[in-house]
Structure 1
Amino acid sequence: MKKIILASIAASLLWTTTAFAYPAIRVFVDGQGISFDQPPIIVEDRTLVPMRAIFQALGSEVAWSESDQTITSTRNGDTVVLKIGDSGLYKNGQLKYTMAVPARIMNERTLVPLRAVAEAFDAQVGWDPQGYVVTVISSQAEAENSNTTTVKADDGTAVLSFRMDIPKSKGSYASQMEKTLNEEAKALTKAFVDTYGKKAQTEYEADKAKGTSFSPYYYVGSYEITREDSKLVSFYGTSTQYTGELQGQRACTSHTFSATNGKELALSDIITDSNKELQAFWKTSFGALIDEKPSNFYSDAKVRLEKNMDIVGFYVTKDGLGFYLPPETIAPNDGGIISFTVKYNL
């Protein structure tokens, strides 16, 4: 246990949380909060946002022509063009929308109508008038290995979507590892659709009857490979979901496999520290994070920590280990995923 304890001081400097300060209007694209150098504005009930940030969030390239004040954005072979002060938005040379509020320049920033440009790239846009939250679900080309599901209302409107992306391992047991991750993604899909599918359809129909806008529910997640070598392959997954709440709910998961036989490994397969030693280390290390920024945690965070030692997760990095607790275990949802990494010779 000495290796980990000696690294605990450094670990306290590597902890990560997610706490954003948003302007009056908040924009989420595929569950991720978008930061703007010029706050979004509302003009005649239309939300306008800085062009470069929103196009980049949608995965498209954008170019600005000063001579004729024209914006050109391309993605997956599609080209969208709009001009400052012009109500027409063109897609692949054809008029796509006649905008009530065209693009404009404010504070030396080019602002574009969010809904028009997002829908031009086949994204879904929702608006929460109480919380001033815009949710955008893009139609990005599916990842090389992606689990996707959509629930639609009777009129064909998508009211719920699920996407979990899985990166391709290069190892000999890649298909075996991906099978485990895909099975988990399918289970998450079923749980999300079973829990929220009917609710989303019902709320959409209710909002439609009242003439108000409905913000589609979504679950967006992805795994990253945190280590892949001749010994170990480790995956760490994070996700965000929106189910009618103003703030997206976050979650995390992880899997580590032997690179020599493809078997999934528990922490006890990787290190020799006893469960008692590990719990003492987690108590010290997570406790240090709580002491460093107590306002980010629940007032009884340390009590909660001791009660939830059994759900501490881990993943392997190229030079050590990462440990994490799911959101809302010891800190509010907006505190994000509480985690830290330590150097450990594996």
Structure 2
Amino acid sequence: MKKMLLASIAAAMLWTTTVFAYPAIQVYVDGQGITFDQPPVIVEDRTLVPMRAIFQALGSEVAWSESDQTITSTKNGDTIVLKIGDAGLYKNGQLKYTMAVPARIMNGRTLVPLRAVAEAFDAQVGWDPQGYVVTVISSQSGGENNDTTSVKADDGTVVLSFRMDIPKSKGSYASQMEKTLNEEAKALAKAYVDTYGKKAKTEYEAAKAKGISFSPYYYVGSYEITREDSKFVSFYGTSTQYTGEMQGQRGCTSHTFSAKNGKELTLSDIIGDSEKELQAFWMTSFGALIDEKPAGFYSNAKARLEKNLDIVGFYVTKDGLGFYLPPETIAPNEAGIISFTVKYDL
């Protein structure tokens, strides 16, 4: 265990805090957080984002014409065109939307209205007004298995959507591993629809009757393969959901399999440390993160940690292990998933 304790000195918490006039806007496309070279902004209740990053995240090509300040983006044979300061968004030569807030240039960056450009490429867009989280579900995602479902109101409007993206493994037991993840996704989708489907339809109809906007409910998640070699295939998944009054709730899960026989592995299958040693290590390592930035954690974070050591999750990395705690275990929801990685010879 000494090797892991020494390595924990380099543990890094995967969240940052930035101060804005309103909370920092987070944008997820198919479950993946998007990094922008300029933060998204809100103008007249519309979210604008840097054009290149959002179009690339949607899987489209984008071109900028300086002479007439026109943006052209193409995807799967469709072309959309926007012009700085012009309210019209054109798709395949036809007016698609008249935007309340057109594209504009701010701080030397070209910003476009996120919802308009995403929906022009047939994506679904969800907005969490409490957590300032935008979730985009694109019309397709290559190289992945997608478990999707939705609930529609009587007029055909999508009021709730669920999507989980699962990357394809190249291993001999890929289908066996994907079956485990797909079964989990289907169970999550059923639980989400059963719990919130009726509520979403009711709230949509109430908002429609009052003539006010409704933010669709959504659950978007994705797995990434953190290691795949002759020993292990490890998956680490994150998710974001919005359920009306709740903030953009985040979640996490993981699965690690033997590459030799496809069996799902527990941590004790991988390392020989006792449960007591592991718990002491987690107390020391997560405790170090709390001590580093105490203001970002609950005031009783260490006591909460001690009571929740049984829900510490793990995944295998290329050169070691990653450990994590679900959101709101030892820190507020806005802190996200508290995690760290350590080097360990497996």
Read off the aligned partner of 1:343 and give its amino acid letter. K
Report what 1:59 is aligned to: 59
Report what 2:240 is aligned to: 240
Report the Cα distance in structure 2 between the residues aligned to 1:73 and 1:191, rounded to whole angstroms.
37
1:140 aligns with 2:139: yes
Contact 1:87 1:100 in 2 (8 A): yes
1:121 aligns with 2:121: yes
How far the C-alpha of 1:306 sits from its partner, in A, is 0.8
How far the C-alpha of 1:136 sits from its partner, in A, is 4.7
Consecutive unaligned residues in structure 1, runs of 5 or more: none
How far the C-alpha of 1:218 sits from its partner, in A, is 0.9
Report what 1:17 is aligned to: 15
> Are the structure 2 counterparts of residues 210 and 126 from structure 1 closer, same or farther at C-alpha, using a change threshold of 3 Å?
farther
How far the C-alpha of 1:287 sits from its partner, in A, is 0.9
Report what 2:285 is aligned to: 285
Report what 1:170 is aligned to: 170
Report what 2:38 is aligned to: 37
Report what 1:305 is aligned to: 305
Written as runs of structure 1 = structure 2, the 5 A alignment for 1:99-110 is 99-110=99-110
Report what 1:28 is aligned to: 27
How far the C-alpha of 1:132 sits from its partner, in A, is 9.4
How far the C-alpha of 1:35 sits from its partner, in A, is 4.5
SS in 1 for 2:287: helix
Report what 1:262 is aligned to: 262
SS in 2 for 1:161: strand
Read off the aligned partner of 2:14 and give its amino acid letter. T
How far the C-alpha of 1:244 sits from its partner, in A, is 1.9
Report the Cα distance in structure 1 between the residues aligned to 2:269 and 2:241, rounded to whole angstroms.
32
Contact 1:235 1:254 in 2 (8 A): yes
How far the C-alpha of 1:59 sits from its partner, in A, is 3.4
> Are the structure 2 counterparts of residues 152 and 290 from structure 1 closer, same or farther at C-alpha, using a change threshold of 3 Å?
same
Read off the aligned partner of 2:5 and give its amino acid letter. I
Contact 1:78 1:92 in 2 (8 A): yes
- Larger deviation, residues 77-86 vs 290-299: 77-86
Read off the aligned partner of 1:231 and give its amino acid letter. K
How far the C-alpha of 1:106 sits from its partner, in A, is 4.5
How far the C-alpha of 1:235 sits from its partner, in A, is 0.8
How far the C-alpha of 1:120 sits from its partner, in A, is 1.4
Report the Cα distance in structure 2 between the residues aligned to 1:276 and 1:248, rounded to whole angstroms.
35
Read off the aligned partner of 1:277 and give its amino acid letter. E
Report the Cα distance in structure 2 between the residues aligned to 1:280 and 1:332, rounded to whole angstroms.
23
Report the Cα distance in structure 2 between the residues aligned to 1:22 and 1:163, rounded to whole angstroms.
30
1:68 aligns with 2:43: no
Report the Cα distance in structure 2 between the residues aligned to 1:5 and 1:331, rounded to whole angstroms.
23
1:315 aligns with 2:276: no
Contact 2:40 2:47 in 1 (8 A): no
How far the C-alpha of 1:24 sits from its partner, in A, is 3.4
Report the Cα distance in structure 2 between the residues aligned to 1:132 and 1:331, rounded to whole angstroms.
15
How far the C-alpha of 1:279 sits from its partner, in A, is 0.7
How far the C-alpha of 1:69 sits from its partner, in A, is 1.8
> Are the structure 2 counterparts of residues 116 and 258 from structure 1 closer, same or farther at C-alpha, using a change threshold of 3 Å?
closer
How far the C-alpha of 1:9 sits from its partner, in A, is 1.6
Read off the aligned partner of 2:336 and give its amino acid letter. G
How far the C-alpha of 1:305 sits from its partner, in A, is 0.8
Read off the aligned partner of 1:37 and give its amino acid letter. Q
CA-to-partner distance for each residue in 1:92-127, whole Å, 9 max, x for gaps? 122223445543445544343444323212233456
Report what 1:327 is aligned to: 327
CA-to-partner distance for each residue in 1:279-299, whole Å, 9 max, x for gaps? 111111111111111111111
Report the Cα distance in structure 1 between the residues aligned to 2:85 and 2:212, rounded to whole angstroms.
28
CA-to-partner distance for each residue in 1:202-236, whole Å, 9 max, x for gaps? 11111111111111111111111111111111111
Contact 1:323 1:339 in 2 (8 A): yes
SS in 2 for 1:238: strand
Normalised by the length of structure 1, the TM-score is 0.90
Read off the aligned partner of 1:330 and give its amino acid letter. I
CA-to-partner distance for each residue in 1:258-301, whole Å, 9 max, x for gaps? 11111111111111111111111111111111111111111111
Normalised by the length of structure 2, the TM-score is 0.90
Aligned-CA RMSD value: 2.5
Report what 2:252 is aligned to: 252
Report what 1:224 is aligned to: 224
How far the C-alpha of 1:7 sits from its partner, in A, is 1.8
How far the C-alpha of 1:174 sits from its partner, in A, is 0.7
